[in-house]
Structures are given as C-alpha cells and as structure tokens.
Structure 1
Amino acid sequence: MDFRTEIEPVSFPFEITQKDRFLSIGSCFSDKFGRYLQDNKLDCFSNPYGTIFNPISIFRLLNSSITEQPVMNRYLTENNGQWYHYDYHSKLSETSASSLSHHLEELHKKVRDYLRKTDYLVITLGTAFVYRLKNNQHVVANCHKKPADHFDKELLTQKEIGIRFRQFYEKLKLFNPKIKIIFTVSPVRHIKDTLQGNNLSKSLLRLATHYFCQDFKDVHYFPAYEILMDDLRDYRYYEEDMIHVNETGQKYVIENFKESAFSPDLKQFINQWQHLKNQLNHRPFQPESESHQKFLKNLLNRLEQIGNTVDVEKEKELVKAQLM
C-alpha cells in the first residue's frame, strides 16, 4: 500500500552540465538552491540583491542591472544610523547614503557582467502581496521596519505580474539570447498574510509561472512548491516555526531537481565530490599516524585529479597543511 502521492518526474528539454553558470534570485528558498550549486563546485551567483520575495521587485532589479539604470537614490532611507534602500534587502546597508548608493551601483555592474554569460536564471517567487509607498505607490522589496502607515498593502494581479515579466524578458533576451529561465514558487508560507491569504498569493504566482512557460519556449517551471505541499505533505519537513523548510525537505526538493535537470556526467561528478567532501571533513583520533598520513596522500591525489575540471585549491591546501 502506498502512503504518499509522489510527484511526477519533471522532464526538461535540456541537461545542465558542469560548465553552466547560474544566477539564483528570489525568496530565501533560492539561497538554499544557490548554496547547493556552489557547494558542488558549480558557478552560481546567489541572491545578489539579498532575499527578495515579490515578482515586481525581482524583475525591476534585474532589469536595472541589464539596462545600466542608475540607483534611484530617492528611495534611500535611514534607520538608527544605518542607510537602506527600499528596493533591496536589509543586508545591503551602509553608514551613509552616498556609500550605500556607490555600493549598489557596483553591485549592479557585477550582476550585469555575470548575467551576460549566464546560462540559467533561477527565480524563486515568494509572495504576490506587495507594499507600496503611499506618496507615489512605488512597490518596495523591503519596508526596513518603517511605520506601517508609510505603506499600502496590495495583492498583485496576474495581469500586472505578466506585463512586468514580459517587459523584463524582452530586454533580458536582447542582452543574453542564450539564457534560460527556471521559475519556482517558494514552499515557505507567509502566515503574516493569514493561511487563506498565503494560499491565494501562491495560487497567483503559480498561475503566472504557468503562463510564462506557455508563452516563452525558454521559460520553465520546477515544482518545488508542489513537492512540499502534495508529495511530502508533512510538518516533519519544516523547521520548528512550521513555516520554513528544514534540511531534510530541502535535500528532497534539490534531489528531485538534480534528477530532472542534471546531465549524467554532472550527477556522477556530484556523487564523487560529495564522497571527497566527506573525507575532507574526517577528523582522526591520531593525525600523525601512518594510516592517516597515507589517507591524506591518497585524498590529495584524488583532489589533484578532480582539479582538472574544478577549482579545488583551497581543499588541497587544507590537506597539505595536515601532512607531516
């Protein structure tokens, strides 16, 4: 008897290889995905603007990087001696407005240079609820703990999300014609919007991504949301706050993505690399023993072999430092 409804395997019209580059952006779930790629020696620029939840802010930031638009300094704001920008996450802050503006300009240049050679843009959408500044209705990415009466809360429409994406998509494809976009909807629940509101929000995001995939042949969807909601469907896969996905749930989702999208060679490499990482993390009782020294020499040889395809200089130095 089956006690689960497992999700159907996703079939992508491409295979991701070890040479491909990624830019991952969006909600905190995109951080986990980006870290997985980086930990397995893939080239990934993860959440350069910090955690961004709503699609309007995501598309606007990427568009600003592509088109070299200057940072909108009128949206800089100060709080307890630190300067923030309404379009970015609070981790991007400085002690002066000018230094923050300069920092953000440099960040956009870095993103633009990276995007020009990126193969896959992975966008994780978190919520369709947005906050607009009351004075001009500008959608903010982060309220930076400003008083609630500064903002109007609004639920985006599928039409507005679609218009904003099409505008961004057209500029992106002129900038980098080879790039593919993979959308996911974050399984992290925004209970501050109430559970009813969260479900309404996620349904709008899911509907939007469905039409993106229908309208553009190089836009794809990976069902991270459905895997948590309908496949795992259990609080065991969430943190104690019952909101964020725990490590076990994250691993299951990422393993599904790996099986769906990675080439056989890349899967083989990741398995090999994970084995080497476990050996690198080994802590012996007798570091000077002959057996452990032999183990280190063998490990160094394997790192040198794999070093023909990926950068393992840090790992090699770590092993060399332990050799007697």
Structure 2
Amino acid sequence: MGARNAKKQASPYEGLADRAFWRTGVADAGSYPPPEIYTPRFKISKKLPIFTAGSCFAQHVGRTLSANGFNVIDTEPVPRRTLPQVAQKYGYTLYSARYGNIYTVQQFLQLLLECRGEFTPADPVWEKDGRYYDAMRPGTEPDGLATPELVQKSRAYHLKAVRDALEQAGLVVFTLGLTESWQHTESKTVYPTAPGTIAGQMDHDVYSFVNYRAAEIRDAFIAARDILRGINPDMKFLLTVSPVPLTATASGNHVLPATVYSKSVLRTVAGELSEDFEDVDYFPSYEIVTSHATDEPFFEPNLRSVSPDGVERVMKTFLSAHGALRGDRANKRRKLRNKAKETEEDVVCEEALLEAFNK
C-alpha cells in the first residue's frame, strides 16, 4: 500500500524543469532566447558533410555554418575571378548546388525524383524577351540564356551536381518556407515562382494555384526522406521554419492570416516529423524571431525582413547548442555578427519580387 501511495503526486506537472513553465522558462528566464530553448537530438560535428536547401532564410543558415567551420557541401562552386556580388546574383554560394530557393517540400521531392530519372518537369523552359530560363530555378540566370538547348544542357550539368552533393551528405538542413505554390495543372509539376514573375507567361488554362495541406507536406517529406536514406542509411535531417512572412498570397485571404496559416501548417509538420523519426531534429528559428517574448523587434521596418540582430540571435543559439561557440568566443561572436549584418538585400529571394505587382 505504501509503495502504491508513493507513486501518487499532486499533479503531473509537479517537479517539471523550469523550461516547462512560461514564467520560469520565458518571462523570468533572464535572457533571450531563453536557456534550453533548443536541445539537439544529435550532435553535428564539423566534419559531417551538410547539404543545405530551402527558402530564403536558409541562406543565413548555410552561410553561418560555413563561416564557423562546418563542412557545408558546394558542388557548383563559384567560377574563378567572379566577384562575390555577381556570384550570388547567379545562384552561387547560396546552397549546396545552384538550385536556388526551394520554397516547398513538394518542390524538393520533385528535384530528388528528377535526379533519379523518375520525373521530367512539364514546361521546363520559360521565355522572356527572347531569352530562355530554367523554369525550375529561373532566378539563377537573371539574364536568361540564348537558346532552350543551352537551358537544358545547363540543367543536366546542375542535376549531376545535385546528385554529387546528395551522395556526399550526412545531414540535410531544410528550411520550410511556404505552403502556397504554382503548378502545371495536368502534370502537377511544381514551380518555385509563378509563371510571369521572372519569365514565362501566366495561362490559367495551363497553370494553377495550390496551397498544400499538412498531410500533403508530411507525405512529401517522408517520400524525400526515404529517397535520401536510400542513398545514405545514416542520413540525418534538421528542419527549420522560415520566420519571413509571405510577400503576397494568391489564396484570396488577407496576407496576415494567410501567413499565419502557412507557418502554422509548416510548424505542425516539422513538429510531427521530429516526434515520429529519430533522425529528424527541429530547430526553433521561427519561434525565436516571431515570439512576442523577444526583448526587441527582430524585424526590419518593413515587418518582413529579419534584422541582423535577429539572425545573429538565431544562429548564436544554434551554434552554442552544438558547442561551436567554445574557444575564442569573442572572435566567434564577432564573425557571427559580421555574417548577420548581411542584410535582407544580400539574400536572394524570388518571392520578394511579387511586391512589384502591388500597384
């Protein structure tokens, strides 16, 4: 009887750690982000080959990891004698290959299937003013190419580079950005931008808007995970959700609730995946930037671009959790601040081009 009573407690919340309660975990934590906001599921060594992809905010992640000595893969390096600002304009140094921003998990899965020869995009080449663009990554050639054949040749080279990157990878870092996208209605080919934004022409008989549900995104990620674990059975995954609001929505709703819906869906999916799979971790960059508990605003005056201080706080939290701020802390913090000061104008984001249509 005594042993039975010993198992009783006043409440299941009795004895929980400080981080489990809002007052001690956030309001009275004494610093922001609060301690223990992120406990890594697995450690990331600086030798582990890292494949980065995702929406615009993912560029900050990749750059900071690289600047702090992590082994970030780059299979399409900058051509020699290319100025840094020119290289970035043409999609170099942003990710592990020149695929540009991948805003949805569906687009990422599509890229993996194309690399395996199991998918061929519909309408893969778009035209504008006599120049031709890769519809799957139209922002990587800002001036287009001279012929459709050159676009196809460039894409074949690019797909080989992606395959090479994936074969090296031990960790995939993916930032989920959007639920909204545009697709070729018949084939379901997903594009990173709406036709007509950078190149091509919008035809509502050919293309259609799609706003992915949580179950669809979850299923797409699981399919992508299966492919990647087939390449490397020890592959691990780190998910984040971009804190950057939508520039515009085609959902018919006001852009504010449309943004909250999109981010809520993505955060839900990321949480479920990290709970269901031991090889999937979640890092709360979204929460750090957007929480009302911040000690200062982490957005620029346009209320969309994340401030350099916001980026620095996010990456400092991540690096500290993985032991990468040990040693010469002052020097590492200085390097981190310098990276964070790369403003939003230095981040390539095709979605931001939608503001040009706000007339």
TM-score, length of structure 2 as denominator length: 0.68
Corresponding residue for 2:302?
241
Q: Where in structure 2 are the equivalents of 1:181-196 lying within 5 Å? A: 181-193=237-249, 194-196=255-257
Corresponding residue for 1:158?
214
Q: Is the 8 A contact 1:83 1:100 kept in 2?
A: yes
Corresponding residue for 1:125?
176
Amino acid at match of 2:100: G
Decide which moves more: 89-98 or 162-171. Answer: 89-98
- When the two chains are superposed, the root-mean-square deviation of aligned CA atoms in Å is 2.8
Q: Is the 8 A contact 1:73 1:101 kept in 2?
A: no
SS in structure 1 opposite 2:182? strand
Amino acid at match of 1:182: L
Q: Does 1:58 align with 2:108?
A: yes
CA 1:73–1:272: 2 relative to 1, 3 Å: farther
Deviations 1:203-256 (A, max 9, x none): 111111122112221011111111111166477322232201021100100011
Name which of 240, 259, 264 aligns with 1:198: 259
How far 1:82 sits from its partner (Å)?
A: 2.6
Corresponding residue for 1:268?
326
Decide which moves more: 211-220 or 73-82. Answer: 73-82
In 1, Cα distance between equivalents of 2:294 and 2:262: 19
CA 1:108–1:196: 2 relative to 1, 3 Å: same
Corresponding residue for 1:147?
202
In 2, Cα distance between equivalents of 1:136 and 1:231: 42
Corresponding residue for 1:29?
57
How far 1:274 sits from its partner (Å)?
A: 3.7
In 2, Cα distance between equivalents of 1:276 and 1:179: 32
In 1, Cα distance between equivalents of 2:235 and 2:330: 28
In 1, Cα distance between equivalents of 2:292 and 2:118: 42
How far 1:139 sits from its partner (Å)?
A: 2.2
Amino acid at match of 1:267: L
Q: Does 1:111 align with 2:166?
A: no
Corresponding residue for 1:208?
269
How far 1:118 sits from its partner (Å)?
A: 1.4
CA 1:142–1:234: 2 relative to 1, 3 Å: farther
In 2, Cα distance between equivalents of 1:178 and 1:231: 38
In 1, Cα distance between equivalents of 2:275 and 2:130: 47
Name which of 217, 225, 230 aligns with 1:169: 225
SS in structure 2 opposite 1:43? coil
SS in structure 1 opposite 2:300? coil
Amino acid at match of 1:222: F
Name which of 10, 15, 18 aligns with 2:46: 18
CA 1:148–1:127: 2 relative to 1, 3 Å: farther
SS in structure 2 opposite 1:24? strand
How far 1:268 sits from its partner (Å)?
A: 3.0
How far 1:68 sits from its partner (Å)?
A: 4.6
In 1, Cα distance between equivalents of 2:327 and 2:163: 29
Q: Is the 8 A contact 1:120 1:181 kept in 2?
A: yes
Unpaired runs of at least 5, structure 1: 279-324
Identity of aligned residues (%): 24
SS in structure 1 opposite 2:57? helix
Corresponding pairs, count? 274
In 2, Cα distance between equivalents of 1:275 and 1:251: 9
In 2, Cα distance between equivalents of 1:211 and 1:68: 30
CA 1:249–1:232: 2 relative to 1, 3 Å: farther
In 2, Cα distance between equivalents of 1:177 and 1:10: 26
Amino acid at match of 2:194: C
SS in structure 1 opposite 2:264? helix
Amino acid at match of 1:159: A
In 1, Cα distance between equivalents of 2:49 and 2:101: 20
Q: Does 1:217 align with 2:245?
A: no
Q: Which has the higher helix share?
A: 1
Q: Is the 8 A contact 1:71 1:104 kept in 2?
A: no
SS in structure 2 opposite 1:249? helix
How far 1:85 sits from its partner (Å)?
A: 2.6
In 1, Cα distance between equivalents of 2:181 and 2:108: 12
SS in structure 1 opposite 2:174? strand
Corresponding residue for 2:152?
101
Corresponding residue for 2:135?
86
How far 1:73 sits from its partner (Å)?
A: 6.6
Corresponding residue for 2:313?
252
Unpaired runs of at least 5, structure 2: 1-26, 74-93, 250-254, 337-359
